[in-house]
Structure 1
Amino acid sequence: MDGIQITGLDKRYGAVEVIRNFNLEIGRGEFFVFLGPSGCGKSTLLRMIAGLDSVSAGQIHIAGRDVTQLAPGARGVAMVFQHYALYSHMTVYENMAFGLRNVRLPAAEIDRRVQEAARMLELAPLLQRRPAQMSGGQRQRVAIGRAIVKDPYAFLFDEPLSNLDAALRSRTRVELARLHQRLQSTMIFVTHDQVEAMTLATRIVVMNEGKIEQVGRPMDIYRQPASRFVAGFIGSPAMNFIAVELAAERVGAVAVRLPDGSVVQTTVAAAGLPGGGRGGRSAHYTLGVRPEALVIDHSGQAGLIAGRVELVERLGDQTHVHVVLGCGSSVVAHAHRDSEIAAGATVGLRLDAAAVHLFDEAGTAYHALPRQPRGAA
């Protein structure tokens, strides 16, 4: 049995329960990301997989072996930490070779592995330097190289990019993606940064308070978040949320009424909402709309949502407009990148009814019906 299986995993510190009945399967060769806010348990989970933290209950299997009680060095994994943890008195070569010497590999094999990792990470010219003589990005690559030379079954990354500046983080993300393509190894990556998760992962597990909110491919989670928590955590700018009430049904979909009385038609299926028929379901929901589904419209046509521009963010390739609606809710909408719109202007917003979500009082998500192909009956 390939991959990593986590079954019924618990982690407690006295009376404090950090991880509760956690179950997850990670396929061989996946780039799998643990994503969530600080304190959600993602680093604790990674450390339990690595064997650095004990397990209160449950099992961990790696490549078919039960490693729950094995020492870290016997699990076939290599960990890269947020802080580089390099030996300052050693050269790059010595840092990468240190672990291999401890397990008494032949000198020729050690040299082969170090040279290969250095070539892969473009560290060959730096092998005789010490950490103090290198940039933060170079030191992080040395830490990754130290993991590569161990030839592990899986790589475990604990927020390895968080100490880098924005430009360096972007370059290092690309390097990690290329490294995964070359090695085809299982990689587990912990982060609170959704950009890192969306750009690197083959699959993401979104965590909240020690439990799984959703597991899926990045764009599946983005397009169909399972809960309001996921919807608000994934996406930049974040999804807009507006308190609404159900207004009516039309051809199987529901319309919602905003606090100012205006009615917005959605394509969310009425049949999928709790309680079946209208009389049996709660009227109170939250409408979720991503900024790209809420567009500034200067046409003046009927049916637009009115609002006042509070702030304009010009990002070059796109423009984000912060708008206060008549009901007092604030939303972020998209405008054309060359738009001359300014704060204080009154605008109309056009909503893409096929890209909205509804969330009930428990935070469960209900999504728009799939778009019908052109020409479909």
Structure 2
Amino acid sequence: MTGINLRGIDKRYGSVDVINNFELQVDPGEFLVFLGPSGCGKSTLMRMIAGLEEVSAGEIHVAGRDVTHLAPGARDIAMVFQHYALYPHMTVYDNMAFGLRNVGVPRDEIDRRVQEAARMLELVQLLERKPVEMSGGQRQRVAIGRAVVKEPLAFLFDEPLSNLDAALRGRTRIELARLHQRLKTTMIFVTHDQVEAMTLATRIVVMNAGRIEQLGRPMEIYHRPATRFVAGFIGSPAMNFLDVDRIEAPNGFVAVRLPDGTTVQTSVPAAGLPTQSKLTLGVRPEALSIGAAEESDVLVGNAEVVERLGDQTFAHIALRNGELVIVQAGADSTISVGDLVGVRLDHSAVHLFDQSGIAYHAQARSVA
């Protein structure tokens, strides 16, 4: 097993800075995910690690060895791309064996590696087929197998599931998780899909504009986002945000007032919070619940949209001031479009964000 260390990495295209002084230690054997919107620099970082892009400054170390200026083939890293790029005239076996033959690996060793990878990826019955005779998911497994047979120090995955339909993405995601458990090799995975990140990662690097917005375990990032950007990017449906005014609270916790005059008492400690009066209240849909509209301690609004997803229901509630919040209701909720309802908040699960987007949390939560 091996780790990867990025030290002061810069990437410039002409006068445009894409990555600036990027520092990251990828631990041996971990499954690290770069997560962020298009254009945030995650694929550029991946390509620099692979040697497909030159760094403008900084160093890349793999297993303690400086590989910054080595050719891609000399880094002992295997990369799986978004597009399968299989040889159409070759069988699955030959696609997986081709790279090994080119570097002179003995025939018996090639066969051992291909057969082992085929068993691991459930491709044994497909070894004599050509790519045109297989589904998209099977082709992607072949592309992964072609990387596995190299027995590299680390794997790089650049959005490998984005061309698959929803069902295949789910199945292939599980196969990748199992592959990591079997190989216990360092893996870096690039995606803009938070479900892939949350379900695969040992740690997630949330990226924004070429920098790390937050680095942490999946549930840590979910429950305690460092910034409003992270809070809005992680979670489906996204966190609800409401502009509020801070008001005095004698109990050591912050109270806020919504534009319609409703006061909300939070469990966010006042100590350490900036004195600015304008804040943003953040609350996830599952921290809201629907109650009777006449209760005095709730927000009041009308249901505009109701999404019934089988195991859960999401209600989009338009509050009296015109703002919209999404509430996770019970799977068997009877709420209908047009209903007047009350919305209660779990005060221990709300977040506050200052004008610069920094987050302040109600309390530490136990995360796994």
Instruction: Report the TM range for the smaller structure's normalisation.
Output: over 0.9
Decide whether the 8 Å contact of 1:82 with 1:162 is kept in 2.
yes
Among 303, 323, 333, the residue aligned to 2:317: 323
Q: Any idea what the Cα deviations from partners look like across 1:269-307, whole Å, max 9, x if unmatched?
A: 100202xxxxxx110000000000011113743211111
For residue 332 of structure 1, what is the amino acid of its counterpart? I
Secondary structure of residue in 2 paired with 1:292:
helix
2:187 match: 187
For residue 355 of structure 2, what is the amino acid of its counterpart? E
Report how far residue 252 of structure 1 moved: 1.1
For residue 201 of structure 1, what is the amino acid of its counterpart? A
Decide whether the 8 Å contact of 2:2 with 2:29 is kept in 1.
no
Taking the aligned partners of 1:369 and 1:108, their CA distance within structure 2 comes to 59
Decide whether the 8 Å contact of 1:100 with 1:150 is kept in 2.
yes
Taking the aligned partners of 2:364 and 2:149, their CA distance within structure 1 comes to 47
Please say if 1:50 is aligned against 2:50: yes
For residue 20 of structure 1, what is the amino acid of its counterpart? N
Stretches of structure 2 that go unaligned for 5 or more consecutive residues are none
Q: Any idea what the Cα deviations from partners look like across 1:116-159, whole Å, max 9, x if unmatched?
A: 00011010111111101100000000000000000001000000
Secondary structure of residue in 1 paired with 2:310:
coil
2:230 match: 230
2:170 match: 170
1:332 match: 326
Report how far residue 326 of structure 1 moved: 1.1
Taking the aligned partners of 2:363 and 2:31, their CA distance within structure 1 comes to 30
For residue 206 of structure 1, what is the amino acid of its counterpart? V
Q: Any idea what the Cα deviations from partners look like across 1:222-254, whole Å, max 9, x if unmatched?
A: 000000000000000000000001012242101
Decide whether the 8 Å contact of 1:354 with 1:371 is kept in 2.
no
1:103 match: 103
Secondary structure of residue in 1 paired with 2:204:
strand
Taking the aligned partners of 1:286 and 1:61, their CA distance within structure 2 comes to 41
For residue 202 of structure 1, what is the amino acid of its counterpart? T
Please say if 1:20 is aligned against 2:14: no
Q: Any idea what the Cα deviations from partners look like across 1:190-215, whole Å, max 9, x if unmatched?
A: 00000000000000000001010000
Dislocated runs of 4+, deviation >3 Å:
none
Among 303, 308, 318, the residue aligned to 1:314: 308
Secondary structure of residue in 1 paired with 2:266:
strand
Taking the aligned partners of 1:52 and 1:179, their CA distance within structure 2 comes to 25
2:278 match: 284
Superposition pairs for residues 345-364 of structure 1, below 5 Å?
A: 345-364=339-358
Please say if 1:296 is aligned against 2:290: yes
Secondary structure of residue in 2 paired with 1:271:
coil
Decide whether the 8 Å contact of 1:246 with 1:283 is kept in 2.
yes
1:243 match: 243
Secondary structure of residue in 2 paired with 1:213:
strand
2:203 match: 203
Tell me the C-alpha RMSD between the 2 structures. 1.2
Distance of aligned partners of 1:83 and 1:31 in 2 relative to their CA distance in 1, 3 Å threshold? same
Instruction: Give the TM-score normalised by the residue count of structure 2.
Output: 0.98
Taking the aligned partners of 1:299 and 1:232, their CA distance within structure 2 comes to 28
For residue 283 of structure 1, what is the amino acid of its counterpart? S
Taking the aligned partners of 2:160 and 2:250, their CA distance within structure 1 comes to 50
Taking the aligned partners of 1:86 and 1:345, their CA distance within structure 2 comes to 55
Taking the aligned partners of 1:298 and 1:217, their CA distance within structure 2 comes to 37
Identity across matched positions, percent: 70
Decide whether the 8 Å contact of 1:50 with 1:79 is kept in 2.
yes
Taking the aligned partners of 2:6 and 2:222, their CA distance within structure 1 comes to 25
2:139 match: 139
Decide whether the 8 Å contact of 1:96 with 1:145 is kept in 2.
yes
Taking the aligned partners of 2:156 and 2:105, their CA distance within structure 1 comes to 23
Instruction: Give the TM-score normalised by the residue count of structure 1.
Output: 0.95
Secondary structure of residue in 1 paired with 2:249:
strand
Secondary structure of residue in 2 paired with 1:282:
coil
Taking the aligned partners of 1:302 and 1:326, their CA distance within structure 2 comes to 14
Report how far residue 2 of structure 1 moved: 4.5
Among 354, 359, 364, the residue aligned to 1:365: 359
Secondary structure of residue in 1 paired with 2:145:
helix
1:261 match: 261
Taking the aligned partners of 2:224 and 2:79, their CA distance within structure 1 comes to 32
Secondary structure of residue in 2 paired with 1:100:
helix
For residue 198 of structure 1, what is the amino acid of its counterpart? M
Taking the aligned partners of 2:295 and 2:312, their CA distance within structure 1 comes to 24
Taking the aligned partners of 1:40 and 1:46, their CA distance within structure 2 comes to 12
Decide whether the 8 Å contact of 2:223 with 2:365 is kept in 1.
no
Secondary structure of residue in 1 paired with 2:243:
strand
Q: Any idea what the Cα deviations from partners look like across 1:89-140, whole Å, max 9, x if unmatched?
A: 1110110001100110100000100000001101011111110110000000
For residue 343 of structure 1, what is the amino acid of its counterpart? V
Secondary structure of residue in 1 paired with 2:248:
strand
Taking the aligned partners of 1:311 and 1:247, their CA distance within structure 2 comes to 32
Stretches of structure 1 that go unaligned for 5 or more consecutive residues are 275-280, 373-377
1:117 match: 117
For residue 325 of structure 1, what is the amino acid of its counterpart? L
Taking the aligned partners of 1:356 and 1:76, their CA distance within structure 2 comes to 46
